[in-house]
Amino acid sequence: MKRSIRIRVTLIFVGLTALILLGIWGANNLFLEKYYINEKVEALNQAYDRIDALVMKREAEGGNIRDDFPAAGSFDSGEQTEGVELLRQLSDQNNILTIIVDSVTGYSIVSSGRDAGFMMDRIQQYIMGRGSWNETIRKEDNYTIQKSYYNRFNSYYLECWGFFSDNQTLFILSIPLESVRESVDLSNRFLIYVGIAAMALSCVVMYAATSRVVRPILKLAGLSERMTRLDFTAKYDGKEQDEIGVLGRSMNTLSDKLQQTIGELKEANLELQKDIEEKIQTDEMRKEFIANVSHELKTPIALIQGYAEGLAEGMAEDPESRDYYCEVIVDEAGKMNKMVRQLLTLTALEFGRDPVSMERFDLAEVIRGVLSASGILIQQKNARIQLEMSPPIYVWADEFKIEEVVTNYLSNALNHLEGDRIIRITVERLENRVKVSVRNTGEPIPEEEFSNIWTKFYKVDKARTRAYGGSGIGLSIVKAIMDSHHQEYGARNVEDGVEFWFTLDTRDAG
């Protein structure tokens, strides 16, 4: 048995070594050349994107890419422009030869290679559908990447040619492919020689080294395997006084300690996991809150600053202009104030600092009160209110919070009112519940947006929301209030518009 273990361990070690060497040899043969070409293809893609971005940037500025190369066709004119620096980086980092051609004039704008004339002939052949042997690797809308063979140089090249996004600037990017196959063969031959020597030496060394250590190691391996199954009754019974004996006794001590502390660790782990999850959730909410608030406050702050600076610099000298500037400042400040108040309300609801105060009240009276308070806004919007309910309607809920829900639904309906400009408020009696619906005529909400409308700061139509001063928080407040009441709520498209709804209990939960 002892000799068998020694041989087995030796053969396993040698076999693993052989498999690793064989794997490396196979990987070199199968993938090294492909990997090299893929890397070069990606380099050409990145080079195209960078040059194309510069071309479009110049076009947006009202110029042309040739502005970066004052001396036509010259790669190094002495003037360090962005285009010159870009082509130099591509040449130095990836050995990319570049020619950019104006398709209108047919003349080269710039060339980073010495054989500009030859490259010009190549791109003309490609455009005309002619040319020597080539293999298409990738084809996009504006450009093609191919592997080409040059008889003139007796070598292969990777080439990317076509038009930039302005559809008038031709280009060709070329990377010479070195003799990868020769390098692979040389590497594999060297690997075979080294592998044979390594396996022969490992056979001798491993056979001698496993003489006295295999058996106690196997005992320790069995002991550790039982410990991994949380069997802490396993103990090492060897009498060796060497390092293996010390290790065995240490494992016995470790087993006792693990058995003693495993329960404490599990309990501590549960507490720690809970703390980590709470911290991550809090941190994510903080990041999201800061980002959203910063985005929402950016526009009103900019407007207030701009108009205030205009007043300070005397740009509004006549009373009418000053009144206009002041109205804009007051309006934007009002929007910011409204958003801050809504954020404070939503934060208090989400963190449970505004508990629900359950009481019995007449829902019909609350709805009428909201309509009365919004009377001026209803007139300004030329809205027609259709109220369908049979008072009194007594429910159990937090009256102040439900009034906030009705107000938000009504404000949302007024701000999205179109067509016949009708808002229909319906209270439907169900078993032990009532369902309140607020429907307005107007454009429907895209079906894919329904899952997002309750998210803080989310706006289906950002331009329209900005026009009436909305911040995307109102429906989030509705969600938080209804969740705190454990009631249902939702929205749906109807034939002539959109309907928002929620439910309330009509009897005491106790």
For the chain, list the domains and their CATH numbers.
Answer: 47-180 (3.30.450), 355-505 (3.30.565.10)
Answer for the pair 396, 506: CB distance below 8 angstroms, yes or no.
Answer: yes
Buried/exposed 20-55: b ≥16 CB within 10 Å, e otherwise: ebeeebeebeeebeeebbeebbebbbebbeebbebb
Structure tokens at 341: 């108040």
Are 236 and 223 within 8 A, CB to CB? yes
Residue type, 265: L
Nearest of 445, 491, 79, 470 to residue 296 by alpha carbon: 470
Q: Which two tokens stand for residue 458?
A: 């989310």
Residue 425: predicted pLDDT: 93
Measured CA to CA in angstroms, residue 348 lies from 400, 407, 463, 480, 481 at distances of 14, 18, 29, 10, 11
Beta-carbon contacts of 82 under 8 Å, excluding residues fewer than 6 positions away, are 54, 68
Residues (pLDDT < 50) of the chain are 1-2, 462-469, 509-510
Give the pLDDT of residue 287. 64
pTM, two decimal places: 0.39
Phi, psi angle pair for 437, to nearest 5°: -125, 135
Q: What are phi and psi of 326, to 5 degrees?
A: -65, -35
Q: Does residue 213 contact residue 50 with C-beta atoms inside 8 Å? A: no
CA distance linking residue 352 with residue 345, whole number of Å: 11
Q: Which of 441, 444, 371, 436 is nearest to 410 (CA)?
A: 371
Helices (H), 210-242: 214-228
**Residues facing 500 on adjacent strands:** 438, 491
Q: What are the angstrom distances between the C-alpha of 123 and each of 109, 126, 336?
A: 14, 5, 58
Cα distances (angstroms) measured from residue 390 to each of 92, 227, 367, 399, 477: 82, 72, 12, 19, 27
Instruction: State both tokens at 210.
Output: 């496993």
What pLDDT does residue 7 have?
73
Residue 176: cis peptide before it, omega within 30 degrees of 0: no
- Measured in whole angstroms, the distance separating CA 5 from the mean position of its chain's CA atoms is 53
Cis bond before residue 446 (omega within 30° of 0): no
Query: What was the pLDDT predicted at 477?
Result: 80
Separation of alpha carbons 440 and 451, rounded Å? 20
First to last CA, the chain: 77
pLDDT, residue 469, reads 46
Q: How far apart are CA 369 and CA 373, in angstroms?
A: 6
Residue 285 CA to residue 281 CA, distance in Å, equals 6
**Cα 200 to Cα 194: distance, rounded to the nearest angstrom:** 10
Phi and psi angles of residue 417, each rounded to the nearest 5 degrees, phi first: -80, 130
Tally the C-alpha atoms within 13 A of residue 47's C-alpha that lie toward its C-beta. Answer: 33
Let me know: does 191 contact 24? Beta carbons within 8 Å: yes
**Residues in a beta bridge with 172:** 99, 161
